[in-house]
């Protein structure tokens, strides 16, 4: 499978990952003690994310396994995006959830997701993947979208972090969580948002890795936006005062990202 990331050898390792994600999600949804050490709002968010992991991430990975085995280039990008999301979200579980009975499961999911991504990066020929796409593949629209998402979330997080630094205080979200820092701030500011910008710049310059990373990040954004929407819905269901209009915003982000992803991968050569 030389032109398809070498996935036929790697994809079998996605099966135990799916099993671990399903176990973690089902227990997180059904067993109240799992999030008993979290503040109530964060416990509700954990359940919301578990629901999306079980009913969105797990089916995506199962379909990807099947269709990658049938040489689908489209679903290989979906797989990579799902791996990025899994690595990101279970880093949060490992460092942002108090120690509980699922700790080793979280570590197993994070390890498998991370090393599958490393295996992907070691096995690909980015120039070959670039040649999968037609010359008329649109690059402006996905680049602008990733830049906008990066700017919006930088503004969101820095508007909380910078005033706290200036005033010598701890950001409110860190206080509310009962943690020593906010893992999402770290992951977004240091890794995810720069990744959006860098991949967009690579694509803009028609560098080969831009064609690998941009569609993968679009999938990551879709699943992450759905997860955040799921958290908000569960918080509302449990009686917390949340702005449900935010679910519309994140649904729009997911829809726009999906449209751009489909427009981009539509130009994969047959």
In this predicted structure, the answer to whether residue 180 has a pLDDT above a threshold of 80 is yes
Within 13 Å, how many C-alpha atoms sit on residue 204's CB side? 14
How far apart, in Å, are the Cα atoms of 246 and each of 64, 171, 205, 217? 30, 21, 34, 21
- Greatest extent of the chain over all pairs of C-alpha atoms, in Å: 57
In eight-state DSSP terms, residue 39 is -
Give residue 29's pLDDT. 97
Do residues 92 and 27 lie in contact, with contact meaning Cβ atoms separated by under 8 Å? no
* DSSP per residue, 74-127: HHHHHHHHHHHHHHHHHHHHHHHS-S-TTHHHHHHHHHHHHHHHHHHHHH--HH
- pLDDT tens-digit profile of 113-172? 999 999 888 888 899 999 999 999 999 999 999 999 999 999 999 999 999 999 999 998
Token digits of residue 144: 């602008």
- Provide mean pLDDT across the span 253-265: 97
**pLDDT mean across residues, the chain:** 93
CA pair distance 92, 56, nearest whole angstrom: 18
In this predicted structure, the answer to whether residue 2 has a pLDDT above a threshold of 50 is no
- pLDDT tens-digit profile of 61-119? 999 989 988 888 999 999 999 999 999 999 999 999 999 999 999 999 999 999 999 98
Q: Is 205 exposed, middle or buried (0-12, 13-18, 19+ CB in 10 A)?
A: exposed
3-state helix, strand and coil shares in percent for the chain, rounded to the nearest 5: 80, 0, 20
SS3 239: coil
pTM reported for the whole predicted model:
0.94
CA pair distance 17, 110, nearest whole angstrom: 9
- Provide mean pLDDT across the span 223-249: 93
CA pair distance 28, 239, nearest whole angstrom: 19
- pLDDT tens-digit profile of 181-222? 899 999 999 999 999 999 999 999 999 999 999 999 999 999
């Amino acid at each position: 499978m030389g032109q398809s990331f070498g996935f036929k050898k790697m994809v079998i390792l996605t099966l135990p990952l799916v099993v671990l994600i399903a176990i973690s999600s089902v227990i997180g949804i059904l067993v109240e003690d799992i999030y008993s050490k979290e503040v109530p709002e964060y416990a509700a968010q954990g359940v919301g994310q578990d629901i999306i992991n079980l009913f969105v991430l797990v089916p995506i990975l199962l379909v990807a396994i099947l269709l990658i085995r049938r040489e689908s280039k489209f679903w290989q990008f979906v797989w990579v995006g799902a791996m990025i999301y899994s690595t990101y979200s279970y880093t949060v579980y490992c460092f942002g959830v108090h120690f509980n009975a699922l700790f080793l499961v979280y570590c197993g999911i994070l390890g498998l997701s991370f090393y599958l991504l490393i295996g992907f990066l070691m096995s690909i020929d980015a120039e070959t993947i670039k040649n999968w796409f037609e010359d008329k593949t649109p690059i402006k629209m996905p680049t602008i979208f990733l830049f906008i998402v990066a700017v919006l979330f930088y503004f969101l997080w820095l508007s909380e972090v910078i005033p706290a630094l200036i005033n010598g205080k701890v950001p409110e979200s860190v206080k509310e969580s009962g943690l020593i820092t906010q893992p999402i701030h770290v992951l977004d500011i240091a890794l995810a948002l720069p990744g959006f910008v860098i991949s967009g710049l690579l694509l803009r310059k028609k560098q080969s890795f831009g064609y690998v990373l941009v569609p993968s990040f679009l999938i990551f954004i879709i699943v992450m936006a759905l997860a955040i929407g799921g958290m908000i819905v569960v918080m509302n269901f449990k009686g917390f005062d949340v702005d449900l209009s935010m679910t519309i915003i994140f649904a729009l982000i997911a829809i726009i990202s999906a449209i751009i992803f489909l427009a981009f991968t539509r130009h994969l050569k047959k």
